[in-house]
Amino acid sequence: MAPILTGWKRCVEFYSIREDEKSITSWILNLRTSGSISTNKVEKAVSWNVGPHGYKGSKEEVHKIFEQGPPIICLQDVRIPKRRKNSVKRELQRMFPHYWIYITTAQSQKKDCRDRPHVFSVLTALHSAFFPKVTQIRCPHSRQMKQDIIREIVGRLSITQTQTPTGTTFQFMNTYQSTVSNPMGQTDMWTTTENWISKQKNNHIIMQGDLNCAHPGCRWDCAHPLNKDLGTADNKFGHFLNSTGGHSYAQTEPTWKSKGCQAALDHVITWNYHLPLALQTAVPNPKSLKKFDHNQIWTQLPHLDFPKHSWTSQSGSDHPTRLLPTNRHRLLQTTRT
């Protein structure tokens, strides 16, 4: 309440020498410079594998997520080829100018049943009111890895380092792990991720994504021929958690369904940081004629650790706009390219 009263007082003083009519827009702008507009809204991070439709086939559903304004959005299997990466980024920035947009993409030499190369791609979006500063980090790879494996990991893993308005630094990892049919790919992904985490020391890290593995007891009605591969994938996941000291927030309900099989394959893992327990939910997908294999995962964020700034900060090309207080009747929008 105090920031609101202070903002109103300054607004009255500022316009006391002008006409009596006060613009509501100007009052809001003045309030932004003197304090924050506080709400009781519960902020959440969302993770969703949009397969098999990719970004192009799930635009409507993806845009609905953006419209809700969550601080963190991690999308996997968006299938954005390199030639469309910049156009998709510009499209999202134009529609949702307060988001930093990061897209990693890679094309495999292997082809699908339609003789098209596989495209591995993830999209990370961070709201600038919660994260005034964001940097995308390139994860180093072992020199012993094959180039095609490195190329695929580049499209499956995105790391961003952010800073909250209070100065706390977080690293967000958006991960799309290889399927159980590619055990070597899974091993290389875990090795790359483990090497990165081991060098971060006390940094706060939050990983979200489709890890294509499950905790014990979190698979239901799975076909018998895959049992061996599934068990191997789940064991690798358990070893990864033990060796890195990660804290996993296990799902108690299926997050993925396909051909009669069900499993909790989508996860949230933290290092050097703990999220509130029992505040993670698998949200049923919006009503649609499309069939999505995965549910959306919404995770509540502690409001004290993720405060919302009253206005956004200026930045580079991944976050195009900033709102500045100008005069009583308009907002000046500036863009840096």
pLDDT digits (tens, 9 = 90+) for 53-91: 999 999 999 999 999 999 999 999 999 999 999 999 999
pTM of whole model > 0.85? no
Give the 3-state secondary structure of residue 153.
helix
**Which residues are 102's β-sheet partners?**
124
Q: What ranges do the domains of the chain cover?
A: 2-36+315-335, 44-300
As given in the structure block, the two tokens for residue 172 are 């967000």
CA distance readout (Å), 243 to 55, 194, 201: 34, 8, 14
pLDDT of residue 286: 64
As given in the structure block, the two tokens for residue 80 are 């954005």
Please give the CATH number for the structural domain made up of 44-300: 3.60.10.10
CB 282 within 8 A of CB 255: yes
Helix (H) or strand (E) holding 74: strand 72-76
Per cent of the chain over pLDDT 70 is 72
| Confidence band for 25, pLDDT divided at 50, 70 and 90 | very low
| Confidence band for 220, pLDDT divided at 50, 70 and 90 | confident
Residues 107-128, mean pLDDT to the nearest whole number: 82
**Cα(218)–Cα(240) distance, rounded to whole angstroms?**
17
**Cα(325)–Cα(181) distance, rounded to whole angstroms?**
55
